[in-house]
Amino acid sequence: MSSNNQATDNRLSSNAIEIAIRLILILLIVTLCFQIIKPFIIPVIWGAIIAVAFFPLYQQLNNLLGNRNKLTAIPKRNQDAELNT
């Protein structure tokens, strides 16, 4: 009986060690991924803020142009500025 208990204890401890190693590796991977993504978080947030702020203007312009999405999305080039350069 004691060898059976010892085998069970060995399996439990090896499972606990395996789980701990996997958790540490997952934490390490998440930390490294966050370090890679961190420089892009603020610009993405600002992009979302600007997109939400300008969406009503885009909708109004789209309605004025007859629901032509591509025409609404393309900014008009300022030809006067090109002639002065």
Q: Tens digit of pLDDT for each residue in 5-39?
A: 776 767 778 888 999 999 999 999 999 999 999 99
d(CA 35, CA 12) in angstroms, rounded, equals 34
pLDDT tens digits, 37-80: 999 999 999 999 999 999 999 999 999 989 888 888 787 666 55
Is 72 within 8 Å of 65 (Cβ atoms)? yes
What are φ and ψ of residue 64, in 5° steps?
-65, -30
Domains of the chain, by residue range, sit at 2-84
d(CA 31, CA 25) in angstroms, rounded, equals 10
